[in-house]
A = this chain, B = another copy of it.
Amino acid sequence: MVTRRERLREATREEIKAIARDLMAEEGTTVLSLREIARRMGVTVTALYRYFPGRDDLITALIVDAYHSHAKAVEQASQQPGKIVDRLIAVMMAYRQWALDHPTEYILIYGNPVPGYHAPSEITTPAARRSLEAFLRIFQEASAEGQMKLPDLAEFPPHYEEFQRQWAQANIPGIPDSMITAMVLGWSQIHGLIGMELFHHIQPLIGDPGPLYEYQVKQMLRGFGLKIET
Tell me if A15 is interfacial: C-beta within 8 Å of chain B. Answer: no
Contact between chains at A184 and B155 (CB < 8 Å): no
Q: Report chain B residues within 8 Å CB of A192.
A: 187-193, 195
Of the candidates B31, B156, B216, the one whose C-beta lies within 8 Å of that of A30 is B31
Instruction: Identify the interface centre among A27, A116, A204, A206: most chain B CB within 10 Å of its CB.
Output: A206
Verify B193–A28 contact, CB threshold 8 A: no
Is chain A's interface secondary structure helix, strand, loop, or mixed overall?
Answer: helix
A52 within 8 A of B: no
Q: How far is the CB of A102 from chain B (nearest CB, A)?
A: 15
Q: Does A225 contact B (CB under 8 A)?
A: no
A181 CB within 8 Å of chain B? yes
Instruction: Kindly identify which residue among B30, B113, B180 contacts A115, using a CB–CB cutoff of 8 Å.
Output: B30
Interface string of A113-149 (1 = CB under 8 A from B): 1111000000001000000100000000000000000
How many Å from the CB of A38 to the closest CB on chain B? 19
> How far does the Cβ of A85 sit from chain B's closest Cβ, in whole Å?
17
User: In the complex, what distance in Å separates the CA atom of A115 from the CA atom of B132?
Assistant: 30
Residue of B nearest to A151 (CB): B215
A216 to B220, CA, bound (A): 11
Q: Is A29 touching B191 in the complex (CB atoms < 8 A)?
A: no
Interface string of A210-221 (1 = CB under 8 A from B): 011001100100
5 A-B residue contacts at CB 8 Å? Answer: A30-B112, A155-B230, A187-B192, A188-B202, A191-B196
User: A residues engaging B (CB < 8 A)?
Assistant: 27-31, 107, 110-116, 125, 132, 151, 155-157, 159-160, 163-164, 167, 180-181, 184-185, 187-193, 195-196, 199, 201-202, 204-208, 211-212, 215-216, 219, 223, 230
